[in-house]
Amino acid sequence: MSPIAAKINRAPEAKTLAPLELPFGIPTKGMFSLREAAAVLGMSESFVEKLYDAGRELSGHEHNAGDGLRVTKRIPRVWLVAYMVRTARYDNETLVDALLAALRLCSREQQRRVHAALGLFLESP
């Protein structure tokens, strides 16, 4: 076998990608119904459907159930993530500032619970 063929046939080295970290939570589910997407985004189902039907802000898959009387719409997780990133009016630093401001309103006991939990986060690998 020639050296060129050996290079072509060799499998590429596996790369480990760091998981995507977002300052908001979206369940690790692959597809969402309009109702589920609305719950995740904190909006009404009718508003999410308007965004979906417009096809620019949210999109996905439509499935015809039987004789066409009911169309099922599903939104992939990536569209929800993209929408949340695009509409965010904060960065990580301002989010931390907001969390700290909110903690000032908590009782001493609640602040102690947050402090203890933060210590556990910092100790874990």
Going from N- to C-terminal start, the domains of the chain cover: 27-88, 90-125
**Which among 92, 91, 113 has a CA at the least distance from the CA of 103?**
113
Average pLDDT of span 22-37:
88
From start to end of the chain, where are the E strands? 31-33, 61-65, 70-76
List the structure tokens of 98.
Answer: 């907001």
Q: Which residues contact 53 (CB under 8 A, 6 or more apart)?
A: none
- Measured CA to CA, the distance from residue 85 to residue 103 in angstroms comes to 25
pLDDT at 34 over 90: yes
pLDDT digits (tens, 9 = 90+) for 71-107: 899 999 999 999 998 888 888 788 788 888 888 888 9
Distance of CA 13 to the CA centre of its chain: 28
CA angle 109/99/24 to nearest 5° reads: 120
Return the DSSP state at 76: E
Beta strands in 20-122 (DSSP E): 31-33, 61-65, 70-76
**CB 95 within 8 Å of CB 26:** no
Q: For residues 115 and 117, give the distance between their C-alpha atoms in angstroms, rounded to a whole number.
A: 6
Distance (Å, whole) CA 111 – CA 67: 57
Q: What is the percentage of the chain residues whose pLDDT exceeds 70?
A: 80
Asked whether the predicted pLDDT for residue 7 surpasses 60, the reply is no
